[in-house]
Amino acid sequence: MQQYLDSTEATEKFGAELFRTLPSKNLIFLQGDLGAGKTTLVRGFLRAAGYNGVVKSPTYTLVEEYNVADRKIFHFDLYRIVDPEELEWMGIRDYFAQDCICFIEWPDLGKGFLAKPDRVISLEVEGMGRLLTMDATQ
């Protein structure tokens, strides 16, 4: 599935649509260059869930946890991972074992330590907007 998102608002709206359609346990890989809109999409998801706080990329913290709308949502950013084995040390498998939604930015950096995703969402800058491609892997 491909969709052109012409603004930040359209990217957030797509994230909100995901909230309404995803089951409570889902692993989503988010792919795209810096500034492609990965965190913006997650912000739209969280806003639809009822979260009103600041949504920032967990580049320095590695993971942000949100408990909202009776759901656990984890937002990972692996951009600063030096060795994928770091994920094993932080207990990444324990996150996946929960009934939760996990968004993972830069999943290629965790190769070998990440479970198979349910969906892969790619965002690519195109003109003034973004081209979103979503593939279900199951």
Handedness of CA 23, 24, 25, 28 (dihedral sign): positive
Residue 137 predicted with pLDDT over 80: no
User: Who's near 55: CB < 8 A, 6+ residues apart?
Assistant: 39, 42, 43, 46, 47, 64, 75
Q: How many domains does the chain have?
A: 1
* Strands lying side by side in the sheet with 129-136: 2-5, 129-136, 119-126, 26-31, 100-105, 71-77, 63-68
Range of the domain at 110: 2-136
What values do phi and psi take at 69, rounded to 5? 55, 40
**CA-to-CA distance for 138 and 135, rounded, in angstroms?**
9
3-12, 13-22, 79-88: least confident range: 79-88
CATH of the domain at 53: 3.40.50.300
Q: Give the three-class secondary structure for 88.
A: helix
**Residue 102 to residue 8: CA distance in whole angstroms:** 22
Residue 138 has pLDDT above 80, yes or no: no
* pLDDT at residue 70 tops 90: no
DSSP conformation class of 91: T
Share of the chain above pLDDT 70, in %: 99
Instruction: Give 23's contacts (C-beta < 8 A, 6+ positions apart).
Output: none
